[in-house]
Structure 1
Amino acid sequence: MPPTLYAVVKLALQNKGSRPPEGTGSKILQEAAALLNSAFRPFLAGNFNADDTEVKGILMVQETPRLIQLIQLVDLEMNPARFNYALGVGSISGKMDPEAYEESGPAWTRVNRALKEAARGNQDIVVRLPSSFLTRTVNTLFAIESDLRNNWSEAHREAIKLVRRGRTQVEMAELLGVTQAAISQRLKHARWDRYLEVCATLDELLTQARWKVLLPWDLRKDQKKKGAAKEI
């Protein structure tokens, strides 16, 4: 029987750009953990909790695509704080309990490496999946998602918050005290339609993360590794 897979998620405040006032970083991380537990509790294998440096939690593997919703929620609700996001999919070793779990196993190794990569790279989200091909493909798309999202202005975020809650442009205009044309322009300048297209493709790809199945590219890679091992 194959091991159960989990989707481990970590967030950390960015080191670059504007930093929160000294002593408030831990509070911001605690607030982010509370926000995520409130929004995603039905989909969690391990609750989100925070320390002085990061937030961590475990999604059930079939809920891996919710990472996109998670990123959007934190970006919109925790603004102007900026985070790096990491996802690692794999098995977990040791105790597994919603309230207490150990950072041991392939999923944790992957998420820790992904978070380090995000911290020193140009995009704020990095994922590591069981398939190396899926990992490369998903990270390429997340680079586009990250560029689009990080170009949103405060006005864009105001409109996007409401459209995510199902408001019509007429309702949004009334709530924000602007014209419907202004709302349309905000969403156009935010490239919201393009962003949704990218997220829909990411959703489809991340759905595959629940299966520990190697794609042809990965199979060839594994065969090469085995051949090299035999030669040694």
Structure 2
Amino acid sequence: MYVLTVDQRGSRRDIDRVAPLLKDLASAPLLRPFERTAGDEVQAVTADPDTVVDLALDLVRRAHWSIGVGIGTVEEPLPAQTRAGRGPAFEAARDAVERAKKAPAAIAVEAADPLAAADADAALTLLALLVSRRSTQGHAAVALAQRGLTQAESAAELGISKQAVSQRLIAAGWHAELAGRQLAARLLERADR
């Protein structure tokens, strides 16, 4: 099981970004949805490592969050409210988000198996660094590719040539991200065994 604990960075000097985040992520495929747990922190539960990767990179793209991923068991049945959950995955997520606040890419993974957690952490950190350094134009091209548009369709939507779309995807590291997503999901799954 995976628990994501996400804390807004610099919240004392910034607007409250939790309400818009909760609205944006309301339809995410989760066992327990994102819910405000305290102040500027939200938490969610999923059993799917691909969902963890998707959400983590979405949060990285938003650039205002420290992301902790806790892996392990949870007390079942899960309570109706995410914040009432208990178990090692919740504890690991708490430790992870605290470590993420000091991490280079603001993301951290914790699990009972420290080596497996470190591997998943490294993969997510590399992906997070790739995504966080992407240009606005790169994000736009990647968003269209993620929706399944061809380069020709993306070019028409962006008002640029197909070759320019290709160049933006290359500069954005889109193909590396695809491979990295698969690797990160496999390593998260391994850490949950």
Larger Rg: 1
Q: Which residue of 2 aligns with 1:8?
A: 3
Is there any run of 5+ residues in structure 1 with no aligned partner, and where?
1-5, 212-232
The residue correspondences of 1:18-57 to structure 2 (distance < 5 A) are 22=14, 24-25=15-16, 28-40=17-29, 44-50=30-36, 51-57=38-44
Q: Which residue of 2 aligns with 1:66?
A: 51
Q: Which residue of 2 aligns with 1:144?
A: 126
For the residue of structure 2 that corresponds to 1:37, the secondary structure is coil
Distance in 1 (CA, whole Å) between partners of 2:44 and 2:53 is: 15
Contact 2:18 / 2:41 at 8 angstroms: preserved in 1?
yes
Tell me the TM-score normalised to structure 2 length.
0.88
Distance in 2 (CA, whole Å) between partners of 1:64 and 1:96 is: 18
Q: For 1:98, which of 73, 80, 87 is the aligned residue?
A: 80
Cα displacement (A) at 1:75: 4.3
The residue correspondences of 1:181-200 to structure 2 (distance < 5 A) are 181-200=163-182
Contact 2:120 / 2:191 at 8 angstroms: preserved in 1?
no
Distance in 2 (CA, whole Å) between partners of 1:57 and 1:115 is: 13
For the residue of structure 2 that corresponds to 1:87, the secondary structure is strand
Cα displacement (A) at 1:94: 7.7
1:175 and 2:177 correspond: no
Is there any run of 5+ residues in structure 2 with no aligned partner, and where?
none
Residue-by-residue CA offset, 1:132-176 (whole Å, 9 max, x unaligned): 211111112222112111111111111111100000000001001
In the superposition, relative to structure 1, how do residues 176 and 21 fare at CA in structure 2: closer, same or farther (>3 Å)?
Answer: farther
Cα displacement (A) at 1:188: 0.8
Distance in 1 (CA, whole Å) between partners of 2:101 and 2:178 is: 25
Percent identity between the aligned chains? 22
